[in-house]
Chain A
Amino acid sequence: MISERLWDILADSFLKILIPGITVTIPLTVISFTLAIVIAVVTALIQFAQIKVLKQIARFYVWVIRGTPLLVQLFIVFYGLPGIGIVLSPFPAAVIVFSLNEGAYASETIRAALESVPRGQMEAGYCVGMSYLQIMRRIVLPQAFRTAFPPLSNSLIGMVKDTSLAANITVAEMFMSTQRIVARTYEPLALYMEVGLIYLMFSTVLTKLQRIGERKLGAYEQQERTAVQMTGVRRMRRRGLGR
C-alpha cells in the first residue's frame, strides 16, 4: 500500500523535519519555559506574600493571559505590534509570547503549591528563630517545588507541542518545515503523521526525564500532591480543547 515513492519522501523528509526540531523547536521550548518559570515564581511569590499593588498587577496579568487564546497573543505581538512601531523577529516574538503565556499558567501551579505547604511549617520556622526569607528559601519553596514538579512537567510537554503554533508567525520550526514539504509533495497524511511521531518522541523523552526527576526529588512526601496535580490536568484539557 505504501509506495516506494512515499517511502523515499518519508525517509528524505525525516531529517528535514528533525533538524529544525533540534535547532528551533527545542531551543524555543527551553528558552521560553525557563523564562516562564522565572516569571511564574515571581508572580506566585508576589501573590503569596500579599504585596499590595504588585499583587493586583499579577492578578491582572494572569487574568488577561489565561482569558485570551495563545494564537491571538502570537498574532498581536508579531503582526500587531509593528503598527505601533515595535517590530520583532519571529523567534524573539515567539519566545516573548510563550514565556508570558506559560508564566501565567505556571504561576497558578506554583501559587497552589505554595499554599499547599501547611502554615505550621512557617510557624515552626519562626519559632526556631528563622527569618521569613530563610523559611521561604529553605523550607517552603523546596516543598512547593516538589509539589509543583509533576504539573510543571505536564506544562513543559504541553509547550513542546504548542510551539507548532509559532509556524503561524513564520518561525521555521518542525511544523512549518513539514508544511513546506507537504506543499511540494502532496502527501499530507503521511507527513503530518511523521511530524506527529517526532513530537511524540520528544514528549516521551520528557516523560522519562520527569520520572527520573521525581525520583531524584526524594520520597519525603507523597500525600499533598493530588490537589495541585489537578491544575495540570485542567491545563491538559484546555490544550485539548484549544486545538
Chain B
Amino acid sequence: MLEIKNIHKKFGASEVLKGVDISVNRGDVVAILGPSGSGKTTLLRCINFLEKADRGTLIFDGEEFALERITKKDVARLRRKTAFVFQNYNLFRNRTALGNVTEGLITARKMSEQEAERIARRALDKVGMSERCDYYPNQLSGGQQQRVAIARALATDPEIIYFDEPTSALDPELIGEVLAVMRQLAEEGMTMLVVTHEMNFARNVSSQVIFMENGVVVEQGSAKQMFEEPRMARTREFLGTTANR
C-alpha cells in the first residue's frame, strides 16, 4: 500500500537519510526502531511532506510520486488519505478537544458541523475522551492530549496513521493509556507506521520491525524474527541492550 524507495535527505552538510527503502502493506503495524539521530523521525516527516526530501520515490496505492518534485496538489491529496500523530501532540491550543477533531473535517473536508461533530464524538469515545470534549488542551494531561490527537487522526478516516514517537514526551505513568489505544487500533486492522522507543510495543503489537541507524535501514523483518533471531549483529546488539528495559 505504501512504498518508499531510495529516499535521501540532507540538513546542510549532514546526510540524515542515505537511501532508505521501506514498504508497508495494508493492515500492517510497522515499528521503526533505532538510536537517536538514526533518521527515523526525519523519514516519517519526509513521508508526510513536513520535510522536503532531496530525492526518492513514494508509491501510495499504486500511484508513484517523485518526492523532490511533488506538487502541492498531490501533497494535499495524499494527506487526505493519511494522518499524523506528533510526539508533542500539537493539539490546536485555541480549540477544545471536540474542536480539535472537528476542525479538519469542517475546513478541509467541507463537512457540515453536525456531521463533523457526530464523527468527532465517536472518535473521542473510542479513545476514552468523550467526557473531556469541552476541555482545552492546557486543561488535559499529556496522555489525554495524545489520545485526543489520536482521535483527531482517526476522525479523518485515514488509510494509514503515522506516529512520531507518540509516547516519548509522556510521564511514565501516562504511557500506558496511549499504548492501549494504539494496541486497540492495531487489533482493528488499522495500518500504522510507528517511530518508537517502546520495545514492548514493537515486540508485542507490531507485525513488522524496521531497524535504522545512521540514515540507513540495517534490517527489516517480522517482529518475531527481529527480536528472536536477528540476522545482523548490530540489530542483535541494539535490541538486546534495550529490550529488557
Contacts and interface: CB of A to CB of B under 8 A. Distances in A.
Interface in B175-224: none
Given A128-B104, A130-B104, A118 B90 contact: yes
Interface in A125-168: 125-131, 134, 138-139, 142-143, 146
B80 A127 contact: no
Given A138-B103, A220-B94, A129 B156 contact: yes
Nearest to B156: A128
Interface string A105-128: 000000000000010110111111
Grouping DSSP codes into helix (H, G, I), strand (E, B) and loop, the A interface class, with mixed when no group exceeds half, is helix
A142 B95 CA distance: 10
A130 B90 contact: no
Contacts of B60: none
Nearest to A122: B90
Nearest to B91: A124
A127 B83 contact: yes
B234 interface: no
B93 A143 contact: yes
Most B Cβ at <10 Å: residue of A120, A123, A139, A221: A120
Given A120-B90, A127-B79, 5 more contacts: A138-B107, A139-B92, A139-B103, A143-B93, A220-B136
Interface residues of A, number: 24
B109 interface: yes
B103 A128 contact: yes
B107 A134 contact: yes
B138 interface: yes
Contacts of B93: 121, 143, 220-221
Interface of B: 48-50, 76, 79-80, 82-84, 86, 88, 90-95, 103-104, 107-109, 136-138, 152, 156
B225 to A, nearest CB: 32
A139 B106 CA distance: 13
Given A143-B94, A221-B93, A123 B104 contact: no
Interface of A: 118, 120-121, 123-131, 134, 138-139, 142-143, 146, 218-223
A130 B82 CA distance: 13
Nearest to B84: A127
B103 A130 contact: yes
A129 B90 contact: no
Given A126-B79, A127-B48, A139-B92, A220 B138 contact: yes
15 contacts: A120-B88, A120-B90, A121-B92, A123-B86, A124-B92, A128-B156, A129-B79, A129-B80, A129-B108, A131-B108, A139-B94, A220-B136, A220-B137, A220-B138, A221-B93
A24 to B, nearest CB: 38
A126 B107 contact: no
A128 B106 CA distance: 10
B108 to A, nearest CB: 3
Contacts of A146: 94
Most B Cβ at <10 Å: residue of A125, A142, A219, A220: A220
A120 B100 CA distance: 14
Contacts of A130: 103-104, 107-108
